[in-house]
Amino acid sequence: MAPYEALYCGKFRILMCWFEEGENMILGPDVVQQTTEKKRMIRVNMKVAQSRQKSYYDKRRIPLNFEEGDHVFMRVVPTTGIGRVPKAHKKYISDPSHIIEPDSIQLKNNLTFETMPLRIADQSVKALRGKKIALVKVIWSQPNREDATWEVEEATRESYPYLLS
């Protein structure tokens, strides 16, 4: 499927000749030939651009293949009840000096764990497209440390009403 067709869900049509309203003109074989040549050049240029974009993507893409027994670094991201997702995994070459004692936390099946907010540290209002959005800086409890994120006040109020009394 051509890029235009994929983007706009329809056939690609080009107006190759512009005429003023009321202007009468008979299209001869030269105009038809020029139009056909322009369409061909547009198709060639689009294929070249598409191929260039694919090669840029392919150069930077590193396929990840894991097998049973492979060691990987995992970033476990806490869920706040407001919305976070786990990050991608990266392949790792085993090194015994890198072994650390794990925290005593319970992971969910999707490799996240629940954290609870400790307090609201700050408040702010952000203007976005003419709308004002109230934000709060939430301090979250983490094993051995604290973490802070800016969250939408309304969502925080719904999930943790005791923080915003």
pLDDT at 73: 72
pLDDT digits (tens, 9 = 90+) for 72-98: 777 666 665 555 544 555 766 777 787
Query: Which regions in the chain score pLDDT beneath 70?
Result: 1-27, 75-89, 91-92, 100-104, 143-145
- Helix/strand/coil for 138: strand
Q: Two tokens at 151? A: 């969250």
Q: Are strands 131-142 and 117-128 parallel, antiparallel or unpaired?
A: antiparallel
Q: What span, in angstroms and rounded, lies between the C-alpha atoms of 101 and 98?
A: 10
The percent helix, strand, coil of the chain (3-state, each to 5) is: 30, 25, 40
Instruction: Provide the residue ranges of all domains of the chain, joining segments of one domain with +.
Output: 3-16+29-60, 71-164
Would you say 112 and 138 are in contact if contact means Cβ atoms under 8 Å apart? no
pTM above 0.85, yes or no: no
DSSP structure class, residue 7: H
Q: Which residue do the tokens 């020029």 mark? A: 34
pLDDT at 49: 92
